[in-house]
Chains A and B, each alone.
Chain A
Amino acid sequence: MNRSILGRITSFIFAFYSLSLLAFIAYALLTFSASVYLPSMQWEYALKKGFVFWMDYLIPVHAAAVAVGASLAGLGRTVRAQGAPAQPFSRLVSSTLVTFLVLTAGYTVLFEGVYPAALRRISDMQYQSLVAVEYRHQADAAEKRGDFLASLDAVDRYLAIDKGNKAFAERRLDLKARAARQAAPATGRTVAGIAGDTGAMSAQALVEKARYYFDRQDWYSAHYYAQSAASLDPRRTDAVRMAAQAWDKINGLTQAEKDVKTANLIREKNKAYAMLVKGDVLGAYYEFGRLEADNPGDQDIATYLAESGRKLAAEAFFVDEARRMETLPGVQAILFLNGGTQGTREAVYIGKMVELPAGEAYYYDIEAVRYGTDGAVQWHFSAPYGRREGDSILMHSVDRNDARVEYLPSYLQGTRPAAERSVLRLQPSVEELHSLSMGRATLATMGLAELWRMRADLATFGIPRQGLSVEMMMKMLMPFVFLILSIFAMSLGWAYRARYLTRLSGVAVLLMPLVPLVLSVLSLLYVHAHRIIIGFAVVAFGLTPALIVLAVLEVILLAVALVMLAGQSTT
């Protein structure tokens, strides 16, 4: 008999869990919007969204399975002999209670671990789709105006998100060829689209580059790249031939010509070095970069290029890095009050923040304002990109190759001292920024420990602390709801069990979906009643007393549920 109740309930739990998960995945698949998400994300979205729905309604689904299982536990049983003693109900359900405890533990793990991760991924997919559409538009626009390099760049970024898109992969090949043709007359390091490094280049690219320098009568560079191509692929006789021709030309230079060339190089090196010493790190970086492209083997240039690059990292970052990270998952629409000095306040908006494992973080679409308590604006700026530098955002970004491309904060009102103009100090930590994202869904994507850790500081950033405390307590509550409603459902099912049915009729099967439906409404009301009590306790007394109220309430409800269960009869 004991095994009969447990067996019946577990088989219904398995059936209800499986069917509901499949139903939710199917629903997510049917309601998938190709205008919000990329079509390639359809299955991933369906699985994750289906899981999220399933977790949202797991408590009523579980309660329904328990109630139906208990209600049908006596189906087809042998009738107890007249006068034979009834078995105590507590003995019948002891193993079921243990099962409930195990399932509650499983639910807690899923609710705290997998559920927030799935929510975060869905949010990221939505953002990535938005970004991909933007890249697609950029690619289209660039291609339309004949800028194939820019179009190729946008397509590359699109493919970083939508990796399996064959149409875009083919388009990329086409654009690459057109961009290469377009890039041929370009100057300096942008030749073949690659900077001085030969490590990642193919023999063909090296030969093309050698030919470019050969045409410009830069025999040293032509010889260097032709030699590199020949080393990479000894079968390239054209590379060997070009290297020999370049060497002949070098040998053919008159001493005067060599002296002039050397003097020019020294002068240019000195000029770049002076820039570095004077603090024009960006200018020096580009100058050494240009020299390095023209004189690939020069040790001085290589040393100072590295040095200027190192110094540059302290005052700017490369925009291609920020763009590359933009497609990664991150936190969106972050709005907060950022403290401020005496008598002033700051407000900051960050469109998106992407964190990297090493503690790095990139920010996108930044806007900030500082104003006095009298409403006078001291400064107001916006910046497209930012990178984390300690507790600040560095908003100066530059192109790795093109000195004309530079992004700085654009001041809409007021200004700041030059040294501070590209830096914004943030009061919240990167971790705290997660919870400052607009919209309640963000809190759902955070674990309990994370919420607990940051609760104290968040009020200073303009977030009502009470809302956060209640969310945290509701997260603590859910495992109790799961367990207590399991026991209530068991009592309900057993109290109203099908005593007079010998087998499950067709009508009963048809009516079965009503059980999770009704229990959904009831469990949501039950949770809402808890929200009112917890919310009141938090607002009136604060978090610690509210925790005590919650604990007492759950103990009482658990006791009531167990008493109800114990009171069931087996007759």
Chain B
Amino acid sequence: MREPLKAPFILLFTLICTTVVLTALNVLATWGLYDSSTRAFGLSYVLARAPRSMFEVIVPSVVLSIVLFGLRMARRPFSRFLGLAIVLVVSYVVLVNGMILVRGMGAKARMAPEATRQYIQPSTLVSVDAWVLSASALSGDRLRGVLVFDTRQTADRFSVFPAATATARAGTLTVTTVGGPPVVISGTPALSGTKVFEPDRFTGLFLRDVTTLSGDFERLLAASLGQFFGACFALVFLCTASLVLLRVTRWPLANIMLLAVATRGYFSLYHLLAVTLAPRIAAAVSDPALARLFPSGALAALAVVLLLVDILFVPSGHWTREEAA
């Protein structure tokens, strides 16, 4: 009987732990990828960067915490509706307030502006799409003694230019040679740290989906609090309602796998809805808020379906029935 009393605190503790771990990883990766060539790593960097990192990981932290807490509930079951209410309220409060609070602090700690040095370091070969570049010296955005290797050519692949200017914007590096007819090389460079921090294909897709979801929530928060509250509720509601999957068969491990697949699927579903379908809806309807809220609305509808399945088809003691009999 004490389990419902402990549950909110355990969930809160889980939320704090997951947020701290994911924030720490985000800070380390961000420094390594973007800031290591321009700023030293230290306490001041961590303090400046942590709020923004926390903001970026709070959505996956909440989702992960709900899943982890669901695993505990599967081993120590109590009233499913009470459990649902506890998870829903605690997660929702943390998500909404966390994002609002951290956003204010994180606004001051935006990432450092892109610098050429992030991509090009003297006497090092760096890939920019089909080209490989190397500069003898680098001063600000000016490069000297620039070697260009064109991988698409089958002969005469090397070109050398006395100088060039480089600009980096939104991940695209543009190098324009100086002296003689200008040659422009523009493309996505491999960051100096990309090889170090590069995720595998599947993790990359997962991180992409998480970024889409977090980015949309940030935009909703900036646009309208009402819409933001609605979107947060839809996500938390869906994750909470999905805990029914932990009771759907009498093999607990399979149930956990179903929940994990569903949770991973929600991120992809959201990406699909937000990137593919929402623009089409925005083109068809006059109210932009409708298109913005469409992905969250779809998640909420799915949550209602799951809740109905829980109420109608999955009795609470379903998976332990055989032993009880």
- Chain A interface (Cβ within 8 Å of chain B)? 67-68, 71, 333, 335-337, 345, 347, 349, 367-369, 371-377, 380, 382, 412, 438, 440, 462-464, 466-467, 470-471, 492-493, 495-502, 505, 507-508, 511-512, 514-515, 517-518, 520-522, 524-525, 527-529, 531-533, 535-536, 538-540
Contact between A373 and B28, CB atoms less than 8 A apart: no
B319 within 8 A of A: yes
Which 8 residue pairs spanning A and B have beta carbons closest together? A375-B162, A467-B195, A496-B252, A535-B196, A462-B125, A536-B28, A511-B254, A514-B257
* Chain A residues, Cβ within 8 Å of B161: 375
* Chain B residues, Cβ within 8 Å of A471: 195
A368, A464, A505: most-surrounded residue (chain B CB, <10 A): A464
Known: A497-B253, A498-B253. 9 other contacts (CB 8 A): A335-B132, A373-B136, A375-B136, A375-B162, A438-B132, A440-B198, A496-B75, A529-B25, A532-B28
B65 within 8 A of A: no
A375, A377, A507, A532: most-surrounded residue (chain B CB, <10 A): A375
Contact between A533 and B28, CB atoms less than 8 A apart: yes
Contact between B147 and A521, CB atoms less than 8 A apart: no
Contact between B144 and A374, CB atoms less than 8 A apart: yes
Partner of A375, one of B75, B145, B202, B249: B145
Contact between B250 and A498, CB atoms less than 8 A apart: yes
Q: How far is the CA of A376 from the CA of B33 in the complex (A)?
A: 33
From B4-12, B149-157, B298-306, give the one contacting chain A.
B149-157
Contact between A464 and B124, CB atoms less than 8 A apart: yes
Partner of B36, one of A507, A520, A525, A540: A540
> Interface 1/0s, chain B 186-203, versus A by CB < 8 A?
000000110111111011
Q: How far is the CA of A260 from the CA of B303 in the complex (A)?
A: 108
Contact between B196 and A467, CB atoms less than 8 A apart: yes
Q: Which residue on chain B has the smallest CB distance to residue A336?
A: B125
> Interface 1/0s, chain B 309-325, versus A by CB < 8 A?
00000000001111100
Partner of B202, one of A71, A493, A520, A538: A520
* Chain A residues, Cβ within 8 Å of B261: 514, 517-518
Q: Which residue on chain B has the smallest CB distance to residue A443?
A: B195
Contact between A515 and B160, CB atoms less than 8 A apart: no
> Interface 1/0s, chain B 144-184, versus A by CB < 8 A?
11110101000111101111000000000000000100000
Least CB distance, B115 to chain A, in whole angstroms: 16
Contact between A68 and B163, CB atoms less than 8 A apart: no
Q: How far is the CA of A493 from the CA of B321 in the complex (A)?
A: 20
Contact between B134 and A539, CB atoms less than 8 A apart: no
Q: How far is the CA of A337 from the CA of B249 in the complex (A)?
A: 61
B32 within 8 A of A: yes
B20 within 8 A of A: no
Contact between A496 and B155, CB atoms less than 8 A apart: no
Least CB distance, A455 to chain B, in whole angstroms: 14
B264 within 8 A of A: yes
- Chain B interface (Cβ within 8 Å of chain A)? 25, 28-29, 31-32, 36, 41, 71, 74-75, 121, 123-125, 127, 132, 134, 136-137, 144-147, 149, 151, 155-158, 160-163, 179, 192-193, 195-200, 202-203, 206, 249-258, 260-261, 264, 319-323
Least CB distance, A570 to chain B, in whole angstroms: 15
A382, A514, A520: most-surrounded residue (chain B CB, <10 A): A514
Q: How far is the CA of A70 from the CA of B252 in the complex (A)?
A: 12
Least CB distance, A182 to chain B, in whole angstroms: 31
Q: How far is the CA of A538 from the CA of B41 in the complex (A)?
A: 12
23 A-B pairs in the complex with CB atoms less than 8 angstroms apart = A337-B125, A347-B158, A367-B158, A375-B162, A376-B160, A380-B158, A463-B125, A464-B124, A464-B192, A464-B195, A492-B253, A496-B253, A496-B255, A498-B252, A498-B253, A502-B322, A505-B249, A508-B249, A525-B203, A528-B200, A531-B196, A532-B197, A535-B32
Contact between B147 and A497, CB atoms less than 8 A apart: no
Q: Which residue on chain B has the smallest CB distance to residue A533?
A: B28
B36, B136, B156, B319: most-surrounded residue (chain A CB, <10 A): B136
Q: How far is the CA of A91 from the CA of B267 in the complex (A)?
A: 42
* Chain A residues, Cβ within 8 Å of B255: 496
Contact between A347 and B149, CB atoms less than 8 A apart: yes
Contact between A536 and B32, CB atoms less than 8 A apart: yes
Q: Which residue on chain A has the smallest CB distance to residue B179?
A: A375
B146, B192, B251: most-surrounded residue (chain A CB, <10 A): B251
Least CB distance, B202 to chain A, in whole angstroms: 5
Contact between A374 and B162, CB atoms less than 8 A apart: yes
* Chain A residues, Cβ within 8 Å of B28: 532-533, 535-536
Q: How far is the CA of A518 from the CA of B32 in the complex (A)?
A: 29
Least CB distance, B162 to chain A, in whole angstroms: 3
Least CB distance, A371 to chain B, in whole angstroms: 4
Q: Which residue on chain B has the smallest CB distance to residue A345?
A: B136
Q: Given A371-B145, A375-B163, A462-B124, are A349 and B253 also a contact pair (CB < 8 Å)?
A: no
